[in-house]
């Protein structure tokens, strides 16, 4: 914080210069007290004075609904509302950016009117699609996006964390379903492989028997 403010300003515009008129001491021969410097005067304000100056300036910029400058307490209320408005809008925009097409209907704000008559967002909400998808794989992908959207703001609310927790529960359910499907597919594949193995062994045995008979018949024909 700047402790003091200083600036220079010019005064005494239009006074005769030394070339145009004699000084008082030259006029009557007596030494006169030195007058304040006409040009380049330096004015300094203390920190308290500077703060009052800024408050006065802010009050002049913000007027109440009656057109009168705001009081100090009203000005502080406006500053608080402005800060709250920025936080709320940033929070909800983070949800939308992370949620993408899962966000339904955009952002809905609740407003409060300040002493200056302006409306400020004091809370907001975003609806997001948290329904399960047709397959466990799709549900897992969707719930991961839901959690990212819910926890995207720098300071997630209790509601945001509850939505993320709900998505986690659906993730676990989808993983259970996926494992069950994979186990069923593994059983079917194993049974199918077993049938193929038995068929293969039977076919191999048949071929070997036919080959032995053929060789035996060839041998008999040669011996005759």
The backbone torsions φ and ψ at residue 109, rounded to the nearest 5 degrees and listed phi first, read -105, 150
Same domain for 118 and 161, yes or no, is no
Q: Is residue 2 part of a domain?
A: no
Position 162 in a domain: yes
Per the structure, the complete domain to which residue 109 belongs is given by 61-129
Residue that is written with structure tokens 């945001």 in the block: 160
In a domain, 169, yes or no: yes
Rounded CA gap, 121 and 83, in Å?
Answer: 10
pLDDT at 63: 85
Contact (CB, 8 A) for 106 and 128: no
Domains of the chain: total: 2
pLDDT at 143: 97
**Which residues, listed in sequence order, are joined to residue 108 by a DSSP beta bridge?**
125
Residues 118 and 66 placed together within one structural domain of the fold: yes
Long-range pairs, 187-196, Cβ under 8 A, ≥24: none
Alpha helices in the chain, H assignment, sequence order: 24-28, 47-61, 72-99, 136-150, 158-223
Domain-embedded: residue 105? yes
Is residue 185 one of the residues assigned to a domain? yes
Residue 209's pLDDT is what?
60
Whether residue 125 is found in the same domain as residue 65: yes
Q: Do 65 and 125 fall into the same domain? A: yes
Contacts of residue 111, defined as CB under 8 A and 6 or more positions apart, other chains included, come to 119, 120, 121, 122
Please report, in tens digits, the pLDDT of each residue of the chain (224 residues total). Answer: 322 222 223 333 333 444 444 444 444 455 555 544 444 444 444 555 555 555 544 544 578 888 899 999 999 999 999 999 999 999 999 999 999 999 999 999 999 999 999 999 999 999 999 999 999 999 999 999 999 999 999 999 999 999 999 999 999 999 999 999 888 877 777 666 666 666 666 666 665 666 555 555 554 433 32
Q: Are 85 and 113 in contact (CB under 8 A)?
A: no
């Amino acid at each position: 914080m700047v402790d003091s403010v200083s600036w220079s300003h010019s005064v005494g515009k239009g006074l005769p210069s030394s070339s145009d008129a004699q000084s008082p001491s030259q006029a009557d021969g007596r030494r006169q007290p030195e007058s304040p410097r006409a040009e380049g005067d330096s004015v300094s304000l203390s920190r308290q004075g500077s703060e009052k100056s800024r408050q006065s300036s802010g009050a002049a910029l913000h007027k109440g609904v009656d057109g009168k400058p705001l009081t100090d307490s009203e000005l502080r209320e406006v500053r608080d509302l402005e800060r709250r408005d920025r936080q709320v809008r940033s929070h909800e925009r983070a949800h939308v950016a992370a949620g993408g097409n899962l966000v339904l209907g955009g952002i809905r704000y609740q407003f409060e009117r300040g002493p200056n008559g302006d409306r400020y967002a004091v809370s907001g909400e975003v609806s997001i699609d948290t329904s399960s998808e047709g397959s466990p794989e799709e549900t897992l992908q969707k719930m991961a996006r839901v959690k990212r959207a819910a926890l995207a703001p720098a300071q997630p609310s209790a509601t945001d964390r509850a939505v993320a927790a709900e998505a986690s529960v659906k993730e676990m359910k989808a993983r259970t379903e996926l494992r069950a499907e994979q186990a069923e597919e593994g059983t079917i594949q194993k049974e199918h492989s077993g049938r193929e193995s038995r068929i293969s062994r039977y076919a191999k045995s048949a071929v070997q028997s036919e080959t032995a008979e053929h060789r035996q018949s060839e041998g008999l024909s040669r011996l005759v």
